[in-house]
Structure 1
Amino acid sequence: MKTLLLPLLLLLSASSVASAQTAPAFQPLSHSATLISGTVRDHAGQPLPGVNVFLKTTFDGASTDSLGRFRFSTDQAAGGLPLVVSYVGYEPLELPLTLGQGAIFLPNIRLKANRAQLGDVVVTAGAFEASDDKCSATLKPLDIVTTAGALGDIAGALNALPGTTRVGEEGKLFVRGGAASETKTYLDGLPVQTPYGSAVPNVAARGRFWPFLFKGTVFSTGGYSAEFGQALSAVVALNSTDLAPETQTGISLMSVGGSLSRTQRWDRTSVAVSADYSNLAPYFNLVPQRFGWDKAPQGRGGSLKLAHRTGQAGMLKLYGTFSQQRLALRQPDARPEFAAAGHPIALANDNAYLNATYRTPLVRGWSLNTGLALTRDDNTVRPDAQTVLELDQSAVARVVLTNDSASTWFNLKMGAEAYAQRYRQQYQATAEGPTQTLGVDEQRGAGLVECELVLTNKLAGRAGLRTEYSALLGRWNAAPRLGLAYKTGENSQISAAWGWFYQSPTTDLLRISSQLKFERAEHLLLIYQRMVKERTLRAEVYQKNYTQLTTFDGARSFNPGTYQNAGGGYARGLDVLWRDRTTFKKVDYWVSYGLLDTRRQFRADPVMAVPTFAARHNLSVVGKYWVQKLHTQVGFTYGYGSGRRYHNPNLPGYNQSTLPAYQDLSLNVSYLTNWFGQFTIVYLSASNVLGRNNVYGYSYTGTADANGQFRSVAVTPGAPRMLFVGVFISINKNKKVDLNERPD
């Protein structure tokens, strides 16, 4: 069923504004931009990875890759401006540059080590980074878009990294034995209340944001910074782009709909607007579906993105989006009354999101980052004769002060966060029946402090503390976090992290009972990482212990007296990632593997058991090959997951049965060309090309039949495979794209 809604929610995603940047990775630099590149080395001539290179008093810059190389562009006005090169354990260097006179190449920048030279030690426990500013990063935005089977969905691409389990009927991120609600998404430092589009049971959701809306995406699977809260298992941190590179118009024509967008760039300001529409009815008429669709998925949406540079280095950004979803279908159901025609369910969702942020340097090395985000999610679900109305409104504000120049050996970060939520749910069993209303009103505050410091010539550390107060729960928590990194060689390091991580019970629990505590997870991680010539090897062992998980009596789920924090569990395992971009010419591939041992008791679990969303073995192989003569990139993704557990009420025990293994082979092709003088990408993709019948679980009747058996139906995708065709046209580009260059 996941494949049915991928293109629909792609169009509905807030990031459809990036249709104006349909293929930003292929776009040339703006005519007004200055390209700055070079290599940074130590006194012995060895390349230095992870060096910060930026224009003074601005936020324009990059970090060097494993070969010491950096590359970035700037839209600063012509004239003189110093280039700052800084690295922990080395004396900072300033180089005078003159902008506006063409590209600048600096092939041999040398840094002088301080007495306690640290080398390339960086505390990154648990984090897989995806950023154009870090060429040695695991994933870039382009990687996400061109990963076969993901169809541009951030979560879909991150599911090809170690630590995740593919849960096809959900489509969300399940990390290291944790539920989807344990992974929190942040946009420009602000938590996102509804990162996924709305969905009905056994129909996969999809993320609302498009990868090219962001200049960096960090996926942290544990041991993350004190900046991030309300996440027991993982964090997806999204950092949006600043000024758009150029003025252009984008047209997207797809097999499921289309979109139109416009980006306008001025000297210090850029504005991008978009509108999109999707309708899967024509596609369903061509490709048979397993479900009966009373109303094929339809959607429309629009978005606005504004960026304005204030002063020499300040940046004000505003991003707003609105989307609508409508669908109605009949799902397979084992209950006798629905066995013939299926169980009818309809969905209507209206979602609005606004994110405003401001950052600026202050004095004496201090900088300010602040922001505000508002969310309104209006959901109506009608399963058979029932009606469920949900309105979830939230606001979050944040301010963070950072000082990274007080000392070569030490930096400091401190901040505060405020959150307010109002949730209402109305339920009617029938159209004439009484209305039952449930609600949640939450106000939560948080404070954080964190510092990074150099301990010896090969050892760096990070220490942080985050504290929160919930007015609804009437409770405080304090979460200490520690990280260490030790340099083991010229291109390798060992990192470790420990910390406590708290999260409030989810809204569906708090609407029944607020007499609960914060849920807690303790993380312990040990990581080895080696990066040489665009080859990355990363191995991580971890232990995660859960306490105070919310439990209740499944037979009396609306009785608040059964709700308590009596649950717990553990997750431990090994994650390995190998990525290689140089061994084979014009080939980029990675292999990831995760071994997971986990058990837990939470929600309605009567005993501790392996959860239904965890697979013991997970494997992904992703490959991409650039065919220069054909101006084409081809890609594939193979995913494997060992059988997940499920509960069969016809057998003794709990979660005692095992599903067949999950396997999927997806392919895609991207062809670069010019249509009527305009840069165009023709994109084709196919998921599950071998047509494997993956089973995501079984749905059982609530009562036994005359033979004492509970009947069941399998939960499967809505179609064996998904085919997608798209044509993306960029109009009014200032410079032609070299079609012979490999996308990078």
Structure 2
Amino acid sequence: MKNVPYICGMKQKFAHIIIGLLWACNLAAQTTVTGTVTDGRTPLPAANVFIVGTIDGCLTDTLGRFSFMTTQTGDVTLKVTYMGYDDYTRTAPVSTLKDIDVRMQERATAISEVVVTASTYSFGKSDGFKTMDALDVVMSGNSCGDVVAALQSLPGTQKVGEDGKLYVRGGESDECQTFVNGMHVLVPYSTNTENTAVRGRFSPFLFKGINFTLGGYNGEYGQALSAVLPMETTDMATSDKLGVSASLVDWNIGGTKAFTNSALSFNATYTSMALYDRLFTQRQDFTRPYRKLSGEAQYKKEYTRGGVLKSYVGYDLTSVGLHEDDRHLSLKEHNIYANLTYKAPIARGTTLFAGIANSSVWNHIDDAVSAGDHYRNHRNEIHLKTELRKVVNDRLKVSTGIEDYLRHSTLDFMPYQYTLDYNIFGAHTDAQLRVMPKVFVNLSARAELMRTRWQLMPRATLSYIPNKQWQVSLVAGRYSQTPNDDQLAQSNNTLPQSTANHVILSMQYKGASSLLRIEPYLKRYRHLPRIPQGEWLADGYGTSRGVDVFVEDHSISPRLVTTLAYSLNDSERLYQDYTELSTPSFASRHNLRLSAKYSIGKCILGVSESYATGRHFAQGTTPHYNSVDVNLTYLLSPKVIIYTSLNNVLGRTNIHRYDANGKGIISNRDRFFYVTILVSLKNNKAYDISNF
């Protein structure tokens, strides 16, 4: 046994020799891969570097350096990945992968993901930042459920209390046009007596998206000198809905019946000021209270290959009687609007859109200007439109389309009588291009033919979007609009289209709890209708310049939302019966709106302050406008909401304008009290009674 230690020692030495030889062989078979990962300027720490098909690799250090060993031989593929950057790959002999310089390229946003917000306010949820939805419209401090009134809380709009319509950046109300599912609406407002604010015709619950564009819109939209209001109806419902609402002035019932691949919806509203007029004092002497009966219906169908058919029809009957001086004014209006649209993919990345819309309005007014006269007016428009849209690749998106506006108008109002028929043919093409990872260009051209005269309108937007928070855009373009039917008829249909050139600089910051937008702009008008000596000419002109500021903040408290909207506008025009270049009577230089909404438990309390400087008339300048409005929303149960508001709490008598005799025109009431209850009759929540 004396040889045992010796034998064991020999075995250990032999094992050590074998292990050493294997280790040496392994070292000889391994290669060290080294290098640095940067974005061309700064190192990228924690980038993942590895050989494809193996587990050989590592993460870069704080200086972007990497070093690891691999047993691979011959050609290999080195791959580097880093969040927010395109993957880097390099195929080469493994022996050459030493001290390599890897420069990562920041991943570019796909063109289909780009949303340029220049001069546009999107209502609904966009990029996770909630700006306004249907319920916000209904419960805005002074809107009383009116889309148009809610939009007047935005910068760029001006307060014109005697008619309540949208006036944008020094432009007439007719310069803002409304589109539903891409189809034009001839008359988007209800009617009322002179010097009384009107309301928009459409329920906010009808729409899933509202994109109010104050200028600089692309070639798809025409016949609008200042702004467009495109609204998209809701998608097809997947469950049945039924809801009712009631207030002192209107009563509503609406619902939806959902089928397998389609849905049918209806909505009916009756509005009457009779009860309200008896409860609260007023200044005007109504012989017949304001009443409106309206109904809406929609049918939506989805097809197996992705096609979507949408149809909508709405009808309003409005009537009111008013005793004023020696007149007994009697007004009645019928307004019907219907559209049918179809959108479907027809090839890879290509979508076809086609639509038809019809607008018809009949106005009957007795004692319109003087006792015994009769005003009869009928306006009709058929809008035909088709468009192809294609996402070519991650860098380019294009669209092209044609459309036709077929218009007919008759007037019987002594001494004016006419019948007018004309059409406006339009064609457009748009291209949105990513020229650099953070730089985008939208180029569009629109051409319109009226009679034998073509109008060419180039438009362009240059946007720099460095991240999800910041966006800077420069917008320039030309826009045109046909004079109104009365002007065309009195000029024997010879007036050309008016034009406006827009230049807008848009700067926006959108954080997790705040939004800031600043937009200076300039508009130059040409060929405005002017009637210097009883004959209509197209030699009017003007400018409108200013800056809009919008701030929305959620940071003070999760329960509190505050907004500030300010507009500075300086505009001058020589048009219509103006004898010199003057500030138009509808324009006020400064407009300011402050609002706050606080949620506590089942209640939402809102307060807003609206201010506008005086407007200029030949008879003088009106005092400034001021109104403090409050509203309260209470969720009585999951299916019942009570909403109440009081406009102009301080009771200020605002003078909206002066008449020819220098008399101040004021509202029928200084204050307006509104209370309504919204109830769901199905299993859905009250917030979802959405009639559609």
Q: Which TM class, normalised by the smaller chain length? A: 0.7 to 0.9
CA contact (8 A) 1:316 1:356 kept: yes
Q: Is the 8 A contact 1:460 1:486 kept in 2?
A: yes
Judged with a 3 Å threshold, the aligned counterparts in structure 2 of structure 1 residues 113 and 296 are, in CA distance, closer, same or farther, namely farther
Q: Within 2, Cα distance between the matches of 1:366 and 1:489?
A: 28
How far 1:737 moved relative to its partner? 7.8
Q: Equivalents in 2 of 1:198, 1:89: separation in Å?
A: 56
1:251 Cα deviation from its structure 2 partner: 1.5
1:199 to partner: Cα distance: 2.7
1:620 is aligned to: 593
Q: In 1, distance between residues paired with 2:250 and 2:587?
A: 35
Aligned to 1:733: 683
Match of 1:669 in 2: 632
CA deviation map 1:579-633 (0-9, x unaligned): 11233221112101001111011111111100001010000112211111xx111
1:483 to 455, 461, 471: 461
Select which of 363, 382, 405 maps to 1:379.
Answer: 363
Measure the CA separation in 2 of the matches of 1:713 and 1:202. Answer: 13
Alpha-carbon offset, residue 174 of structure 1: 0.5
Given the superposition, is the C-alpha separation of residues 113 and 304 from structure 1 closer, same or farther in structure 2, using an over 3 Å criterion?
farther
Instruction: Tell me, yes or no, if structure 1 residue 570 matches structure 2 residue 570.
Output: no
What residue in structure 2 maps to residue 8 of structure 1?
A: none
CA 1:354–1:458 in structure 2 vs 1: closer, same or farther (change >3 Å)? Answer: same
Whichever of the two has the greater Rg, that structure is 2
The equivalent of 1:413 in structure 2 is 399
User: Which deviates more, 246-255 or 444-453?
Assistant: 246-255
CA deviations 1:419-475 (Å, max 9, x no partner) are: 10111011147xxxxxx521221111111100111112221110000111113xx31
TM-score between both structures, scaled by the size of structure 1? 0.76
Alignment of 1:20-99 (within 5 A): none
What are the within-5 Å matches in structure 2 for residues 415-494 of structure 1?
A: 415-428=401-414, 436-471=416-451, 474-487=452-465, 491-494=469-472
1:534 matched residue in structure 2: 513
Aligned pair partner of 1:698 in 637, 640, 658: 658
Return the alpha-carbon distance in structure 1 between the equivalents of residues 86 and 589 of structure 2. 44
Paired amino acid for 1:679:
K
CA distance, structure 2, for counterparts of residue 482 and residue 518 of structure 1: 21
CA distance 1:736–1:475, change in 2 (3 Å):
closer
Does 2:496 match 1:510? no
Q: 1:390 maps to what in 2?
A: 377
Aligned in 2, Cα 1:410/1:137: closer, same or farther, shift over 3 Å? farther
Relative to 1, partners in 2 of residues 1:123 and 1:299: Cα closer, same or farther, differing over 3 Å? closer
Q: How far apart, in 1, do the equivalents of 2:221 and 2:162 lie?
A: 28
Counterpart of 2:605 in structure 1: which amino acid? V
| Among 239, 245, 261, the residue aligned to 1:268 | 261
Q: Which residue of 1 is the match for residue 672 of structure 2? A: 722
Q: Distance in 2 between matches of 1:732 and 1:594?
A: 44
SS at match of 2:347: coil
C-alpha distance in 2, partners of 1:735/1:150? 23
Contact kept? 1:329, 1:344, Cα under 8 Å: yes
What displacement does 1:137 show?
5.6
Give the corresponding residue for 2:117. Answer: 124
Question: Does the Cα contact within 8 Å between 1:615 and 1:641 map onto a contact in 2?
Answer: yes
Shift in Å at residue 150 of structure 1? Answer: 1.0
CA contact (8 A) 2:106 2:437 kept: no
Q: Residue 269 of structure 1 contacts residue 308 of structure 1 at CA under 8 Å; is this kept in 2?
A: yes
Q: Report the number of matched residues.
A: 588
CA pair 403-150 structure 1, distance change in 2 beyond 3 A: same
Match of 1:610 in 2: 583
Within 5 A, what are the aligned runs for 1:199-598?
199-331=192-324, 338=325, 343-382=327-366, 383=368, 384-404=371-391, 406-428=392-414, 436-471=416-451, 474-487=452-465, 491-513=469-491, 514-553=493-532, 556=534, 562-598=535-571
Query: Normalising by structure 2, what TM-score?
Result: 0.81
Alpha-carbon distance, 1:139 to partner: 3.0
Q: Deviations over 1:313-359 (max 9, x none)?
A: 2211111111111101134xxxxxx3xxx653221011111111111
Structure 1 residues 162 and 735, CA gap change in structure 2 (3 angstroms): closer
Contact 1:548 1:565 in 2 (8 A): yes
Deviation at 1:712, TM superposition (A): 3.5
Contact 1:89 1:409 (C-alpha < 8 Å) held by counterparts: no
Judged with a 3 Å threshold, the aligned counterparts in structure 2 of structure 1 residues 188 and 490 are, in CA distance, closer, same or farther, namely: closer
Measured after TM superposition, the shift of residue 117 of structure 1 is 5.8
1:720 partner SS: coil
Question: For residues 228 and 490 of structure 1, do their structure 2 counterparts lie closer, same or farther at Cα, with a shift above 3 Å needed?
Answer: closer
Q: Which residue of 2 aligns with 1:109?
A: none
Q: Per the alignment, do residues 735 and 646 of structure 1 end up closer, same or farther by CA in structure 2, a change over 3 Å counting?
A: closer
What amino acid is aligned across from residue 209 of structure 1 in structure 2?
Answer: F
> What letter corresponds to residue 586 of structure 1 in structure 2?
R
2:610 to 615, 639, 650: 639
Aligned position for 1:679: 639
Runs of 4 or more above 4 Å deviation: 88-91, 112-122, 734-738
CA RMSD of aligned residues (A): 2.4
Query: For the Cα contact (< 8 Å) 1:121–1:485, is it kept in 2?
Result: no
TM-superposed deviation, 1:724: 1.2
Could you tell me whether the CA contact under 8 Å between 1:639 and 1:663 is conserved in 2?
yes
SS state of the match for residue 718, structure 1? coil
Q: Residue type matched to 1:466 in 2?
A: R
2:165 aligns to what?
172
Change (3 A) 1:718 1:245: farther
Counterparts of 1:524 and 1:454 in 2: how far apart (Å)? 21
SS of match in other structure, 2:556: coil
Partner SS, residue 604 of structure 1? coil
CA spacing shift, 1:320–1:572, aligned 2, 3 Å: same
Q: Offset of 1:152 from its aligned partner?
A: 1.7
Q: Secondary structure at the match of 1:319?
A: strand
Q: Distance in 2 between matches of 1:90 and 1:611?
A: 54
Q: Give the Cα separation in 2 of the matches to 1:164 and 1:277.
A: 29
Q: Aligned in 2, Cα 1:586/1:176: closer, same or farther, shift over 3 Å?
A: same
Which has the bigger relative contact order, CA under 8 A and spacing at least 6?
A: 1
* Offset of residue 492 of structure 1: 1.1
Letter matched to residue 590 of structure 1: T
Gaps of 5+ in 2: 1-43, 46-83, 88-103
Equivalent runs, 1:153-168 vs 2, <5 Å: 153-168=146-161
Q: Which moved more, 1:112-121 or 1:485-494?
A: 112-121
Q: Which amino acid aligns with 1:346?
A: S
8 Å CA contact 1:636–1:668 kept in 2: the answer is: yes
Q: Closer, same or farther in 2 for the Cα pair 1:584/1:505, shift >3 Å? A: same
Cα pair 2:125 2:131 within 8 Å, conserved: no
Give SS of 1:161's match.
coil
Q: Is the 8 A contact 2:135 2:687 kept in 1?
A: no
Q: What percent of counterpart residues are identical? A: 30
Partner-residue secondary structure (3-state), 2:527 = strand
Q: Deviations over 1:276-324 (max 9, x none)?
A: 2222111101101100011111121222111111114221111111111
Contact 2:560/2:596 (<8 A) preserved: yes
SS in structure 1 of the partner of residue 136 of structure 2: helix
CA distance in 2 between partners of 1:606 and 1:495 (Å)? 38
